[in-house]
Structure formats: structure tokens, C-alpha cells
Amino acid sequence: MSDEFAKGLAMLTGGLLGWMVLSGWYTTESFESTNQLIAEPPSGLELFGTLSLTLREALFWFAIVGALVFWVLIPAGRQARIAWNERQSS
């Protein structure tokens, strides 16, 4: 059970670290404003800018879905399988 927690935590921290770095590069207008990391991304970016913003979104969803899979879905599946096997054996 602890290995699922560690894997989920690694996915969450790694994905959000990448998201924060790319957000700091592309969506922070100034460090004095209150909407750091969540401002509108700039328009008219070239190939690498567009790829970076796509990677930013992918890292965010990787972090959220990865943590949910390892913290909720896998343990729930194991519990469901145990309950199913106990129901079948009795």
C-alpha cells in the first residue's frame, strides 16, 4: 500500500513541479501581480512555445490523474477484488 502512495506522490510532485516551471516562464506577467502562474498565456508563440504550453497542460493532468489512480482507483480495485472473491467463496 505504501508503494502506491509513493508513486502517486512522485507523480503529483513531479508533474506539478514541471507545471510550475512552465507556468513561471509563460504565464507570469510580473512578480508584483496577484495572478502569477495563472495569467493568460501569450499569443503568437512559435513551435517551442506552443509545445511548452501543451506540455504544461499535460503535466497538470498527469499529476492530478496519476495521483488519483494510485491513491483511489488501485486501492479501490483491490478492495473490490477482495470483496468479490469473498462473495464468490461463501
Per-residue model confidence as pLDDT tens digits over 48-74: 999 999 999 999 999 999 999 999 999
Residue 38 exposure: Cα atoms within 13 Å on the Cβ side = 3
Per-residue model confidence as pLDDT tens digits over 15-58: 999 999 999 999 887 777 777 888 888 889 999 999 999 999 99
**Cα–Cα distance measured from residue 64 to residue 83, given in angstroms and rounded to the nearest whole number:** 28
Nearest to 41, CA basis, from 58, 18, 25: 25
33: left (phi over 0), alpha (psi -120 to 50) or beta: beta
- As a dihedral over the C-alpha atoms of residue 51, residue 69, residue 3, residue 75, rounded to 10 degrees, the angle is 180
